[in-house]
């Protein structure tokens, strides 16, 4: 009995050591990327990759981490709903819906083409389209905030599109979760989606026309931090549970409860209380993304994964700029906002996992989707650097993207020009030396030939 207790204590001790190492590594990598003025979430993902099953193997069983990550997604949508400014969103609603809709349509067309070429099913093509269409709200907001564009018109338009995408996640999850059955019940899926959209539209309409929702005993609760935190989380997870039982996504219920609480008299008090909890769960979420990444799979298909990620990022950048220009944005705003939304988003992991759980997504396709999404997030610092370089576009009022890139990368282009001139000069110098060498060799041969002829003549 004592031996068994000692063994259990040793096991729990090892578990605590593993947790401590994971938290320390995540904190150090996050701090490192923050010091480099890059999104710390990249460090969190790398921590999960390094410590996961295909890394050093410190975390071999990711079941508990996955549960916490799912809680992180629920709380993230709850927080997005709370921070949603309905009046500001309505101002950019038309452009946001057109751009987000265009992104989804283009992604679905690309996924349908991929499915046709590779022989994947319609459901798999649909899920891949949803995965590609999403952008990262966290990364994009970090980029815009670093540039000081978060509160500008560029930030308002980009955030409007990102919120439209986040809202679109809800019916997407409902659809994806319903695709795995042997018999596809289109009628049931349509009813669920219509009900979900109708409830959401009704809430947005109501709060757009009316004032703040007054919560009973709000004055007594304002200073009770513990009650505010517990009450908000109870509302979040309670609404998520009801939504899940009703056959919809738990994230949908959390998002609706966030909208309700965000338009109440307690909003300003609850946000600072919930934000630290949401941040911790969000770190766990990105850690779990790292745990999902299969390094062996990426190692075997490294060029295919990198090529797919680069193609997706480049295509999304061009598509975003095109859609923003067509919906009325200036070239400067379209360029910066389009770059900020070029990566694949964190909800893509959720959509891919939902498709795998429902049996609608093949394991190999799931691995590809996870790998490409993770790589697109990991290379986001390069996009941050590009955006910092293009920051002067807004002040220069440049109308040509070619001119904009020439100004942003003038130093590099000048250096390349110098190197090119130096290379051309070196090449010309080598050519002259080669000609001189050939002439000298020809001259020596001729002298030797003349000398040999004179010697022969004398002997004769």
* 61-277+308-395 topology per CATH: Na+/H+ antiporter like fold (1.20.1530)
Helix, strand, coil shares, percent, the chain, to 5 = 80, 0, 20
Helix (H, G, I), strand (E, B) or coil at 216: coil
**Cα 68 from Cα 237, distance rounded (Å):** 13
pLDDT value at residue 452: 65
Assigned token pair, 316? 């999304």
pLDDT value at residue 102: 92
Residue 149 near residue 336 (C-beta atoms within 8 A): yes
Give per-residue pLDDT as tens, 243-289.
888 877 787 788 888 888 888 887 778 888 888 887 787 787 778 77
Kindly tell me the number of DSSP H helices and DSSP E strands found in the chain: 22, 0
Residue 269 near residue 219 (C-beta atoms within 8 A): no
pLDDT value at residue 322: 92
Domain boundaries defined on the chain: 61-277+308-395, 409-460
Q: Look-up: residue for tokens 């659809």? A: 175
pLDDT value at residue 319: 92
Assigned token pair, 2? 């004592």
Which residues of the chain are under the pLDDT cut of 70? 1-15, 37-39, 60-69, 146, 180-186, 217-218, 221-222, 381-443, 447-460
Assigned token pair, 55? 């890394």
Give per-residue pLDDT as tens, 147-183.
777 777 888 888 888 888 877 877 788 788 777 655 5
DSSP label at residue 330: -
DSSP label at residue 212: P
pTM (global) more than 0.75? no
Residue 368 near residue 123 (C-beta atoms within 8 A): no
């Amino acid at each position: 009995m004592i031996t068994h207790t000692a063994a259990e204590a040793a096991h729990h001790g090892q578990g605590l050591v593993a947790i401590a190492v994971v938290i320390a590594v995540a904190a150090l990598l996050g701090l490192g990327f923050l010091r480099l003025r890059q999104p710390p979430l990249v460090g969190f993902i790398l921590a999960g990759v390094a410590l996961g099953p295909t890394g050093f193997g410190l975390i071999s069983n990711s079941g508990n981490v996955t549960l916490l990550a799912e809680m992180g997604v629920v709380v993230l949508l709850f927080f997005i709903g709370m921070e949603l400014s309905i009046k500001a969103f309505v101002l950019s609603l038309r452009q946001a819906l057109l751009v987000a809709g265009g992104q989804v349509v283009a992604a679905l067309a690309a996924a349908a083409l991929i499915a046709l070429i590779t022989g994947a099913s319609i459901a798999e093509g649909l899920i891949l389209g949803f995965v590609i269409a999403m952008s990262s709200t966290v990364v994009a907001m970090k980029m815009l905030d670093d540039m000081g564009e978060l509160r500008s018109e560029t930030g308002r338009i980009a955030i409007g599109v990102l919120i439209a995408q986040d809202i679109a996640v809800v019916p997407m999850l409902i659809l994806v979760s319903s695709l795995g059955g042997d018999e596809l019940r289109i009628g049931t899926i349509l009813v669920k989606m219509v009900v979900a959209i109708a409830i959401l539209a009704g809430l947005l309409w109501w709060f757009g026309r009316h004032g703040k929702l007054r919560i009973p005993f709000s004055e007594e609760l304002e200073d009770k931090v513990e009650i505010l935190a517990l009450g908000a989380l109870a509302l979040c997870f309670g609404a998520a549970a009801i939504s899940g039982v009703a056959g919809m996504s738990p994230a949908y219920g959390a998002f609706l409860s966030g909208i309700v609480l965000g338009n109440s008299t307690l909003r300003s008090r609850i946000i600072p209380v919930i934000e630290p909890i949401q941040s911790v769960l969000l770190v766990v979420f990105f850690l779990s993304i790292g745990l999902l990444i299969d390094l062996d799979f990426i190692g075997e298909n490294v060029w295919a994964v990198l090529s797919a990620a680069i193609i997706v990022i480049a295509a999304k950048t061009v598509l975003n700029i095109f859609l923003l220009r067509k919906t009325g944005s200036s070239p400067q705003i379209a360029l910066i906002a389009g770059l900020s939304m070029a990566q694949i988003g964190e909800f893509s992991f959720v959509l891919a996992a939902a498709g795998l759980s429902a049996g609608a997504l093949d394991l190999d396709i799931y691995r590809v989707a996870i790998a490409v999404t993770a790589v697109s997030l990991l290379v986001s610092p390069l996009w941050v650097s590009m955006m910092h370089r293009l920051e002067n576009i807004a002040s220069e009022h440049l109308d040509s993207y070619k001119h904009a890139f020439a100004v942003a990368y003038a130093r590099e282009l000048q250096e390349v020009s110098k190197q090119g001139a130096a290379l051309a000069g070196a090449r010309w110098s080598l050519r002259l030396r080669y000609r001189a060498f050939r002439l000298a060799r020809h001259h020596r041969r001729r002298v030797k030939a003349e000398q040999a002829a004179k010697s022969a003549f004398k002997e004769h």
